[in-house]
């Protein structure tokens, strides 16, 4: 029996975290909320996550820095950005560093769920046999 996917939600806005967690739970996915990139990186369960949904603009550590730190650790965790930022350079950097996609708020639920499914399917294809 395989475990249900765990999606990390990193956003400094509590209402956004709660809304995303509710959406994912309705879809049968496990959501794990974090109020900051530092909180996510400090959590020993972070390695159990199957995908990361993060904001770009956050205090202390933005989403791009979080993605950079994950890649520096050797992580291949799929990253989806959801942001109010329309910064084309930041978007280009995120995608060049392997982000699955970049959504500008508001994002349609079905678009996000489609990107998550694609990210999870891609991750499953790279899992070692027997997991």
Give pairs for 125-130: CB < 8 Å, separation 24+: 126/76
Q: Where are the alpha helices (DSSP H) in the chain?
A: 14-26, 37-42, 63-72, 88-96, 109-125
Query: What confidence tens digit (pLDDT) does each residue in 81-129 have?
Result: 999 988 999 999 999 999 999 999 899 999 999 999 999 998 643 333 3
- 97 and 105 Cβ atoms separated by less than 8 Å: no
| pTM confidence score | 0.90
Q: Of 48, 2, 61, 10, which Cα lies nearest the Cα of 28?
A: 2
58 to 12, 35, 78, 117: CA distances (angstroms): 6, 9, 19, 25
């Amino acid at each position: 029996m395989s475990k249900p996917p765990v999606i990390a939600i990193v956003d400094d806005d509590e209402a956004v975290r709660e809304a995303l967690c509710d959406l994912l739970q309705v879809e049968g996915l496990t959501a794990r909320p974090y109020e900051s990139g530092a909180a996510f990186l400090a959590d020993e369960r972070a390695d159990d996550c199957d995908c990361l949904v993060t904001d770009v603009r956050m205090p202390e550590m933005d989403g791009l820095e979080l993605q950079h730190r994950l890649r520096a650790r050797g992580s291949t965790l799929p990253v989806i950005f959801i942001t109010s930022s329309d910064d084309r350079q930041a978007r280009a950097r995120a995608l060049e560093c392997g982000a699955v996609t970049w959504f500008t708020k508001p994002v349609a639920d079905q678009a996000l769920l489609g990107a998550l499914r694609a990210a999870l399917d891609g991750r499953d294809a790279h899992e070692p046999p027997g997991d």
